[in-house]
Structure 1
Amino acid sequence: MNSIRSRLSVFLLLAAMLTALGTGVVTYRQTLAENEELFDYQLRQIALSLRNQGLVVNSYADSNDETLEVVVQIWTVSGTMLYLSNPGDPIFDRATIGFTDVNANNRRWRVFSLAARDRIIQVAQPLELRRDLAATAALRGLAPLLAFAPLMALLIWWLVGSSLSPLKRLATEVGQRDARILDEVSVAGLPDEIAPLVQALNSLLIRLKRAFANQRAFVADAAHELRSPLTALKLQLQLLARAPDDAAKADALAKLHEGVDRATHLIEQLLVAAQTAPNDTVAQLESTDLSELVRQSIADVFSLAQTRRITLEANAPEHLQLSIDPARIRILVRNLLDNAIRYGRDDGSVHVQLSNDHDRVLLVIEDDGPGIDAHDRERIFDRFYRGPAQQQSGSGLGLSIVKNIVEQHGARIELEPSRLGGLKVTIFFAHRTSESDFRK
């Protein structure tokens, strides 16, 4: 039974019937007690009404009906029977003044005895008769509830269905949407219990809408950026085919290699940018030796630095454990080093410093290149943006990738002039040694 409506209807009906059963038990007990009091009162009143009656010697009632509700016996003080309402009923041979329960003739009797002048008056009633009358009265009280049980079941079914109708409307509204319709779902008229679910759904829709918008913009930008290097490659192939001599062919071939390298670098950066795009999966954090990771990243770009005779200097502790995504942080460090080398001076230097400042870890990379103007420092993180003063070839994706990875780690990045004359990039990591610390 997976239907919420069926489940609620059955459970509510069972609860109502259990309540009715409990009410019936309580009503039965209360009715029985009240009838016991009422029957005792009747027995006492009958006995009191007979205390002033005249003497009837050896008189018996004409009726021999065994279903009589009350049996009356009157005795003299000496033990002579004066009156017996039904000869078929047992004669109580003793009298206890007041109320008492007596067994006679395989039946249990409720007896009231009264001493009045020279006689003893006994009025008795079968206990099972009293209880049957009480049960009948209780059942009469429960009869309307039992009669209305089917109506109650239908009412519960309708009420549950009416209460769940907003869910059906919500399912219909969401089911009619596709990837192009990611507007928020209206919470108007929804119960308070469903509103948090719809708010969470709206939050997801907002993130999906932003992710799809970023994806479309990324694809459009990537297509635009790829068009130029591919066109250049095509022209260089044509120049190679038309080269008149070996020297011209060698020059055209060298330029073709450079074009292929630029296109390869751009495609690699595009792939990395797609993997580290905002709203993507969260970083897979694990305790990592950040010092070792920085050394590996320096080794990755060492050959590029040698081509420009740039010195790479590193100042880092031997070991520094930090909860990070090692693959993405390696991409981050490699991109920062690649930018510093590409835009630094020939025969210059790039300085890397890693330090542990109690509650945070600082990664600082400085170069001696042209730096970035203050008004360009915010835009430099946009995809495919390159400052107007930049002369080196590049994809314009490096710092965008860095910014995405920084945000995924809950870190912070700052750009400022370097003491070497170029750009100083500082990344502030919160000092966490485990993934649980990151999530706090």
Structure 2
Amino acid sequence: MLAPLFLLWPMSVAITYVVAQDIANTPYDRGLRSALAVLSEQIEWPNGGVGQPILPLNPLTKVALRTHDSEGVFWKAQVVLYTGDGQVDGPVIGGDAALPTPKLNYEDIRPGRVDYMDQTINGFDVRLAYQWAYNQRFPTDDLVLLVVAEGREPRVELANAIIKGVIIPQFLVLPVAVLLIWFGLSRGVAPINALQRRLRARRPDDLSAIEEHSTPAEITPLVTAMNDLLSRLSGNIEAQRRFVADAAHQLKTPLSGLRLQAELALKSAPDAETRENLHKIVAGTARATRLINQLLLMATAENPDRVQLVPLDLNKLARHVTEEWVDQALARGIDLGFEDTQEPAMIRGQSLLLSEALNNLIDNALRYAPYSGHVTVSVKLSDTEVKLCVEDNGPGISADERTRIFDRFYRVLGTQAHGSGLGLAIVKEVAQKHHANVMVDAVHPSSMPPGTRFTLTFRRVR
């Protein structure tokens, strides 16, 4: 969170160095400009500007320009002549001839303008300022190039002093500022982090409103808008569940009456064709009733207010449900077995939902197991988990289909077994409400048929 501040520190130092150099150059450049003005005033143009200009300096001017050999301003005055290659050249009429002449084209000459440049002379860094002077009283083509130079050491010392005066306080202030910013951000972000943790800890089906009194005032409008969205979403979901439940209830009564009438008519059917048609009606109404019951159970499982988890023994529940399917298994020529544990397999669950999930798994196994096949229901224990397994020796489920069989109304292509496509969707929904994991794999992956095993893994309670 504070890393950008430390990344900006080198940039701040670089900017401070540039600003310090500029501040240090300003007064010294002003002094060079003043020296050029003094030299320009001392130029004489004899014979009305016809003769070569001269630069006689009085002793006071020399002292003002140069205090002693190692300090002060060095200068040079040179008459400007244009050479054929576009360079500036001409005789030196005063000062230090060793000072370099700026290499500029003749067309770049601007009389009266002061320009600056940095150069190295005999290993020493100097600052040059130059200006072209001309005869203001008797304008001619003659120009005088005035060059003044000064060592950069005083400028560097001044810049270093400025940098020390800025950087050293930053070394003292920056850690304190970082601590204050970190403390302020931590205190300011803490309520938001707490709100984030509360939202992440919620169940997927928890659409209750977020408490607004414990949120910062800055994000209260956002929390209010989220609560309004949750309220509308909860209303829509509840209306959908209510519609499914009401429709299922309304359909159960006429379907029961239709099945009853078909069974009564079956007893007095005059011929075989009529009896066959009535048998189909009875079977169809039975499947429709089963679908309606599953829709009701799905609506119940999706409503968190109706799912109350209590401690129960999964051994007893699985044995009781398995015993209810023995007659149907025998009628289909299938060996239905049950394997329990030697001690109670305690979990937190809702018996109605768990019974319906196991019913769907056993029904699914009986439908796909071959004649004279076998289906086994087992409960297995570990220190922290309880596993409920239902396996058969049927054709198995391909790896590509295993991720889709839990979708509502999805059925594996090519299957001949009847069903609504809701059984495994209910199993998944019940597993989620019990915070359990559901997994499907092959019993014998390397054999044919491979068989299918469904495993529900619950958290064990003591």
**TM-score, scaled relative to structure 1:** 0.47
